[in-house]
Chain A
């Protein structure tokens, strides 16, 4: 602690220790191009932190020491240095446009490049407009912002996992998540929360990154852009650059806050007690029961009372709430020509709209750059994060909060007569859960990088970088005796999971521009080691509900695990541009993974790309139509090995197979010494167009990916004693089209209108598979050759016979309904998806509206599956849809008659209720965010020494257009189960949020 204080002390000294005032200089800044005044220009005394900025009329005044030099800097203009003569008191300056800076520079793998010369396909997402959206993690914010990137929230649980795919799903068994790189650190993206929540991924490790610290985000999509990341690049790469202090800029302090209120736009509905009783009686009679003996008959005759006498208990209302979101951030940045700094701290808290979950995060970031001399620069990017989640189960879990409110029959009381919580069947009591759930997950994250750069010559730079991603999750769960998980005498778990990645990287970069040729060559290597450890303790039988620590438990058991993996890589890349017209890129990477056997460790991943700026050729230029006309093409290969077991290639026996409390071992997996890299070949062609001084631009891409040698758990004959063997077998293809149109439609001094639209398609197909296999609850998803991943395997209901009231299914071969009639009915892929943003600015006001849409994905509505059960589920009630059942000959409906008779296949039997009647179209268009902001004019602020003040109000998910009958079409309840998507199952919906915010800059 002392050292830290000392460090900050020194920092403060170095920044504020200089200024010795002797005179005041005034002046006016104008544009060299047209002479208009420039407000907001930074004015700094060189070598100090003394600075100011120009007012609305371009005027400034600043106190300067003797023989001072002033620096004038402004975005889009060349920085100008002016050495003041003695006694000079006026310095009027005109600034020149910076042609280079007007050219957009984008971050690419291991470097930067002008967008004009890019050959690959990548999308930049600006974070300024996104940072105030109430989402804890940056990945959620890029939804709809980048063509070819599909982002779907799995649920409305704050800090929970999300579904993200860059250009489709490549792999069946290995990871499909893109590689995230924050300031050069490869980020671990493994969920560490171990508490079982009903197959929902409990945490999103990217929620450890405060979106406000992000300066820019690049999504690398095609092989040429990603191949430099070789084995890590197959699923796309997300490069995140956080904010850094700028050289020779005055200190800026920013404070941001917003306060939000969220609620569920739509809630579950169940039938009333009398309706339920009517349905139950009908079921009884349909199954051959005597009408005199129906269960709901008068109490006098021994029944449970007549249907109309049944009470109705509302449970659903108890679980939803108006949830609060709060965010506070404070940051300072600045720097002189030697030292630049950015320090940011934040607190974010978001309640779930379903009790009792909650997420909060404390974050701190320090980015420092120090030039030791003209040749050597050192620096660090360090982020510390503390997160806290109060997690609760939902989704596929009978003791989840939503399940316990949704599933029990509505005529049954919430409390027993003696006042205790009433529980029915395998369901818990929802109020017992809300009041007693005690699952605490505290995360500690350090993402830190230190680097040194040595400019060996003007053109050649050596850089070495050492990074750590330290991710710790400490969970303490106590289940008291009032909830089912705590039966019979209380259970508790305390677990510490630790995931550490160490990364060392060296690069040598050669940059040189001759008259017409510019050349960039990079060579480097990385060494990466990952260690994953878990230690957990369990306690059972507690003396009282007040003693929650495992020390108090009568039975205490514990376990620990550890696994390591390593990657060693060498890479090189060369990029040459001739006359700003022709660009040729080539890259190559070799990776060795510890997961594979010695002879198959190395994978080699080359890529090439070319771009031709046709628009620069005179025959096009002369047409006077195009400001930009660029053709791009690339092809390359990337690899994947993430997500498979650390020791996947070795035949193993495992301990822990104990008997009579003595240690035992048993076979775990068969060896596959031939196991090697899963490889994705991708080609991409693209076209960039710019019209009307680049105010209208098009970015068009077509890609074709083919992933082969899939790391696949191929089912083996079960008589072998094993169920599968990890093999390089199988292939998946993804092909798609992406279009982005951006328009700078109106641009005058008072009113501006910008608009951006993107749309993408992706066709996914399993090209090769050893044998079909199923996955997900009730084996609802099936993987087989020739169909896409995420295909639903169910019984196809044709109609309900109006005469008999029985469901009629597609019966292949007319031999009665057997498992052979179970078939693929639809899949969870959208035909297309995208986003549409419009921003309007009028003087100090701005309005932004952002729509996100998906068309054609199917959703399996498991809530209907369970709650339209025809009487087969003795402990589950009904939703109103059950009332539409067939009742008498002539009724035309999709819902068969009430019955539990297996042979009817209506709800049970062979069909097991896996009927296509519960599969729905999940298309939607959603007003994801809409905001109204007001920037208080500088003239009003300057007297209070405030540089900027912005007030805004924003709505999230205010409107959704969809035909989907569930709560929310953006749903993925079984995110923890691989190869499944679009289950809707007692899941927290996306919240509707209204928030107000304030940004102040000093």
Chain B
């Protein structure tokens, strides 16, 4: 019996020793993530967070947001199988549409990144982080937030304005929808702040002072604040870093970042933009989901001048497919997302001036309109009256920004979506709030856009 108890003791001791040495096995640490609290602590991590915020903007501008800008309108038809695109094309969006959900989600992700930077970076005490650098980082974050709320506002109308980073879920609770003017006021406040903080420079894929001013010109245009729109457009046009370049297709030809560009998002093969795949026909390896409409092809060829380079064609056997060629980097997958171009500033100013009845002369609407037409290799506009000039600008914008995030928003902004597109139910001029969010967010109760 003695050996017996000794053996037991030995076994139990071995057992216990083994156990006590292994509880730290439970303290596993993530290899490729950072604890949220330690995400922004110094200059390097602040810059990384800012790049991450841009990456979030890429997420909604590579495909979803441009799609919502052109597909509901008349330049492009959907030629694929996915219903979420078909609904967008047919102006029959439902709140469960995944493009709608995806866009809304990713914009708010970009805003949350920006909110975190705005909240944390000014208070950092890293000696290598100069005040100028802090201002630049914070200014870019303000710009990203402004762009996010602007893009939400023009799509959905007024939205909940979250201005603090979400650390726990309660941080975002209790914020109801704002009105559209309140939303645009917030955009203005952020752009003003961004203008103040951002440096003068001609960086085209990051926000600088002129980027903020260019977006501000567009904001005033959307708010029909014509004089301010004109002023801010002029500020950007007056800067020698930006110019209408010829030929038209130069801005979407590598290496990109041309003088045409005020703000574009850069992609690369390691960080790809694969929107080309939706435009290219299968003979070129694409899916041909976005097909230029016959009507658009006719108008562009007749009235677009050298902007017909937006289209290309490929023939296999006896079938010729005409396809959109704005996004053409199928090999290197580095097509930029074009957000603000100098041509837009010209056309913003033209519209703002026309609305102020300034039609002719060197500071008249037609001068700006014709600048854009000349670049396209076209004769001056024959429009005379204010109404004619405004219509000419609308037509010009249709061709100039054919496959960018403009046509639908323009026609809604000018309340012409009914006349031009036949979308007479004005409730469909705003996108629905995602169904999943209507369920998850008690603050949205009863606040769905009408008609959905």
Residue with the greatest number of chain A CB neighbours at <10 A, chosen from B26, B86, B268 = B26
Determine the residue in chain A with the shortest Cβ distance to B286. A487
CA distance A650 to B34 in the complex (A): 9
CA distance A978 to B435 in the complex (A): 20
Chain A 552-610 residues near chain B, CB threshold 8 A: 555, 557, 561-566, 568, 570, 592-594, 601
- Write out the residue numbers on chain B whose beta carbons fall within 8 Å of the beta carbon of A525: 15, 18-19
Asked whether A663 and B15 contact (CB < 8 A) given A652-B35, A720-B112, the answer is no
Asked if A540 and B31 make an inter-chain contact with CB atoms under 8 angstroms apart, the answer reads no
Asked whether A665 and B52 contact (CB < 8 A) given A652-B34, A778-B83, A908-B90, the answer is yes
- The stretch of A258-266, A277-285, A423-431 in contact with B is A423-431
CA distance A655 to B34 in the complex (A): 8
Whole-angstrom distance from the CB of B280 to the nearest CB of chain A?
Answer: 8
Interface flags for B85-125 (1: CB within 8 Å of A; 0: not) read 01100111011101000001100110111011000000000
Q: Is A223 an interface residue (CB 8 A)?
A: no
Q: Is A839 an interface residue (CB 8 A)?
A: no
Asked if B111 and A721 make an inter-chain contact with CB atoms under 8 angstroms apart, the answer reads yes
CA distance A778 to B270 in the complex (A): 30
Residue from the list B11, B80, B271, B452 in contact with A425, Cβ < 8 A: B80
Q: Is B308 an interface residue (CB 8 A)?
A: no
Q: Is A653 an interface residue (CB 8 A)?
A: yes
Q: Is A659 an interface residue (CB 8 A)?
A: yes
Asked if A657 and B81 make an inter-chain contact with CB atoms under 8 angstroms apart, the answer reads no
CA distance A504 to B18 in the complex (A): 10
Q: Is B168 an interface residue (CB 8 A)?
A: yes
Determine the residue in chain B with the shortest Cβ distance to A647. B30
CA distance A489 to B282 in the complex (A): 14
Residue with the greatest number of chain B CB neighbours at <10 A, chosen from A540, A565, A718 = A718
CA distance A268 to B443 in the complex (A): 49
Interface flags for B7-28 (1: CB within 8 Å of A; 0: not) read 1100100010011001101111
Q: Is A702 an interface residue (CB 8 A)?
A: no
CA distance A661 to B113 in the complex (A): 18
Determine the residue in chain B with the shortest Cβ distance to A653. B39
Asked if B113 and A667 make an inter-chain contact with CB atoms under 8 angstroms apart, the answer reads yes
Asked if B108 and A718 make an inter-chain contact with CB atoms under 8 angstroms apart, the answer reads yes
Asked if B271 and A658 make an inter-chain contact with CB atoms under 8 angstroms apart, the answer reads yes
Asked if B92 and A651 make an inter-chain contact with CB atoms under 8 angstroms apart, the answer reads no
Determine the residue in chain A with the shortest Cβ distance to B285. A487
Whole-angstrom distance from the CB of A273 to the nearest CB of chain B?
Answer: 16
Chain B 142-179 residues near chain A, CB threshold 8 A: 159-160, 162, 165-169, 171-173, 175
Asked if B26 and A566 make an inter-chain contact with CB atoms under 8 angstroms apart, the answer reads yes
Q: Is A47 an interface residue (CB 8 A)?
A: no
Residue from the list B4, B47, B92, B112 in contact with A910, Cβ < 8 A: B92
Q: Is B301 an interface residue (CB 8 A)?
A: no
Residue from the list B31, B37, B98 in contact with A563, Cβ < 8 A: B31
Asked whether A652 and B79 contact (CB < 8 A) given A592-B26, A667-B113, A819-B435, the answer is no
Q: How many A-B residue pairs have CB under 8 A?
A: 301
- The stretch of B53-61, B227-235, B396-404 in contact with A is B53-61
Determine the residue in chain B with the shortest Cβ distance to A403. B81
Asked if A721 and B440 make an inter-chain contact with CB atoms under 8 angstroms apart, the answer reads no
Residue from the list A428, A653, A778 in contact with B36, Cβ < 8 A: A653
- Write out the residue numbers on chain A whose beta carbons fall within 8 Å of the beta carbon of B173: 717
Residue from the list A481, A487, A717, A874 in contact with B441, Cβ < 8 A: A717
CA distance A655 to B132 in the complex (A): 25
Asked whether A720 and B172 contact (CB < 8 A) given A422-B316, A462-B11, the answer is yes
- Write out the residue numbers on chain A whose beta carbons fall within 8 Å of the beta carbon of B160: 717, 719
Residue from the list B30, B109, B443 in contact with A721, Cβ < 8 A: B109
Q: Is A759 an interface residue (CB 8 A)?
A: no
Asked if A668 and B289 make an inter-chain contact with CB atoms under 8 angstroms apart, the answer reads no
Asked if A594 and B26 make an inter-chain contact with CB atoms under 8 angstroms apart, the answer reads yes
CA distance A218 to B284 in the complex (A): 55
- Write out the residue numbers on chain A whose beta carbons fall within 8 Å of the beta carbon of B316: 416, 418, 420, 422
Asked if B439 and A771 make an inter-chain contact with CB atoms under 8 angstroms apart, the answer reads yes
Asked if B92 and A662 make an inter-chain contact with CB atoms under 8 angstroms apart, the answer reads no
Whole-angstrom distance from the CB of B179 to the nearest CB of chain A?
Answer: 16
Asked whether A398 and B81 contact (CB < 8 A) given A658-B55, A721-B109, the answer is yes
Whole-angstrom distance from the CB of B52 to the nearest CB of chain A?
Answer: 4
**What is the interface size of chain A, counting residues whose CB is below 8 A from a CB of the partner?**
103
Residue from the list A407, A489, A562 in contact with B32, Cβ < 8 A: A562
Asked if A671 and B36 make an inter-chain contact with CB atoms under 8 angstroms apart, the answer reads yes
Interface flags for A452-493 (1: CB within 8 Å of B; 0: not) read 001011001010000000000000000001001011110000
- Write out the residue numbers on chain B whose beta carbons fall within 8 Å of the beta carbon of A564: 28, 31
Q: Is A670 an interface residue (CB 8 A)?
A: yes
- Write out the residue numbers on chain B whose beta carbons fall within 8 Å of the beta carbon of A420: 316
Asked if B98 and A488 make an inter-chain contact with CB atoms under 8 angstroms apart, the answer reads no
Asked if A717 and B440 make an inter-chain contact with CB atoms under 8 angstroms apart, the answer reads yes
CA distance A308 to B403 in the complex (A): 40
CA distance A717 to B115 in the complex (A): 16
Asked if B81 and A873 make an inter-chain contact with CB atoms under 8 angstroms apart, the answer reads yes
- Write out the residue numbers on chain A whose beta carbons fall within 8 Å of the beta carbon of B83: 778, 908, 912-913
Asked if A426 and B33 make an inter-chain contact with CB atoms under 8 angstroms apart, the answer reads no
Asked whether A651 and B55 contact (CB < 8 A) given A666-B109, A771-B439, the answer is no
Whole-angstrom distance from the CB of A910 to the nearest CB of chain B?
Answer: 6
Whole-angstrom distance from the CB of A230 to the nearest CB of chain B?
Answer: 15
- Write out the residue numbers on chain A whose beta carbons fall within 8 Å of the beta carbon of B28: 564-566, 594, 646-647
Q: Is B294 an interface residue (CB 8 A)?
A: no
CA distance A667 to B55 in the complex (A): 12
- Write out the residue numbers on chain A whose beta carbons fall within 8 Å of the beta carbon of B166: 667, 670, 720-722
Asked whether A425 and B48 contact (CB < 8 A) given A417-B318, A540-B331, A652-B36, the answer is no
Determine the residue in chain A with the shortest Cβ distance to B81. A873
Q: Is B259 an interface residue (CB 8 A)?
A: no
Q: Is B67 an interface residue (CB 8 A)?
A: no
CA distance A778 to B36 in the complex (A): 33
Interface flags for A863-906 (1: CB within 8 Å of B; 0: not) read 00010000011111000000000000000000000000011000
19 A–B contacts from the bound complex (CB under 8 Å): A417-B317, A424-B282, A456-B11, A484-B287, A504-B18, A653-B35, A653-B52, A659-B265, A660-B205, A665-B49, A666-B55, A667-B112, A718-B104, A719-B159, A771-B440, A818-B94, A819-B435, A909-B92, A912-B83
Q: What 4 pairs between A and B have smallest CB-CB spacing?
A: A487-B285, A721-B112, A664-B51, A651-B36
Q: A425-B80, A720-B162 are in contact. List 9 more A-B contacts (CB 8 A).
A: A488-B285, A555-B269, A566-B25, A664-B49, A664-B50, A666-B52, A667-B113, A908-B86, A910-B94
